[in-house]
Amino acid sequence: MKLLMFYLSLGIILASHGMRTPVAGAATLKQPIQVIAHRGASISYPENTRASTLAAVSSGATVIEADVRTTRDGQLVVLHDATLDRTTTGSGPVGGKTLAEIREYDAGTWFDARFSDQRVLTLSEVYAICRGKMDVLLDLKETGEEYDRKVAAQVRSGKDSERTIIGVRSVAQARRFRRLLPEARQLGLVGNPDEIAAFAKVGVSMIRLWPRWLTDVSVIDKVRKAGCKLHLNGKLGTAAEVAGLLHYRPNSLSSDDPAQLVKTLKEAGHIIQLPRHVDSGKQSALPRDRN
């Protein structure tokens, strides 16, 4: 019944947009989907914290996305914003404080007082929590060769290259990480659809497209013709949201609510892509596939 309701919802939504409804059971609906937990399970927990990371691990998602910044003393921490103000009790630029200083700040009360014990995580802590359970997507929030080398050194030190996806924003950065971390996959965070072919030529295997670009069918064609996989951003993971995204046959979806996205995809008959290096005994019982 749930599967039937999903396809009825899908048909209504696509018909309202003048789109052709995919056939239930078709190959396009059975392909493994990579599920990315955006800043962890950030819909229910303070983003990029231990709480949101542990919830993401429990969700059955393939990958956790982590935003990477540098402290004044050169430590890599997981914070989205350039300043501490929004998500901690501290203030000012992340790069203006040492790790020890940042650790003193509460990173959870802004979301809910129940999370007052949460602190900013280091990148190495995120890897430690997820090791054997999830892959890690690094959203690099700073630029420059020194920063890229520091990130690569951290990944290599934990022998985590193969379970890492690097979000690259330029062809030059993609080339650099191909040298620094040849085993890592790359997600092209292109700023313009015209850049897709250039990113693909330097080995980027997946391209993220913004929703506003999806009205132009030729943009999807550019991704496919370049031989790349397609990533799309979601938020809630509901049947209505996912139905619209599945029209574009994505290989990867992200969500602030990864557990809901996994549930919705499972009800639609999809297999959830398995992380590269995983302890199967600690994973959910969802059907999976390696890629």
List per-block mean pLDDT (blocks of 10 residues) for the chain, which spans 291 residues: 48 46 42 96 98 98 99 98 98 99 98 98 98 97 97 97 97 98 98 97 97 93 97 97 95 98 96 79 40 40
The phi and psi torsions of 67 (rounded to 5 degrees) equal -90, 130
CATH architecture of residue range(s) 2-79+122-278: Alpha-Beta Barrel (3.20)
C-beta of residue 261 within 8 angstroms of C-beta of residue 61: yes
pLDDT for position 28: 45
The answer to whether residue 80 is catalytic is yes
pLDDT for position 166: 98
Find the catalytic residue in 17, 80, 231, 270. 80
The answer to whether residue 38 is catalytic is yes
Find the catalytic residue in 17, 38, 270, 277. 38
The residue to which tokens 């690097």 are assigned: 166
Quick count: other Cβ atoms within 10 Å of Cβ 216? 12
pLDDT for position 31: 79
What secondary structure letter does DSSP report for 262? H
Provide the pairing of β-strand 185-188 with 164-168.
parallel
Provide the pairing of β-strand 288-290 with 206-209.
unpaired
Provide the pairing of β-strand 252-255 with 34-37.
parallel
- CA nearest to 245, candidates 163, 191, 254: 254
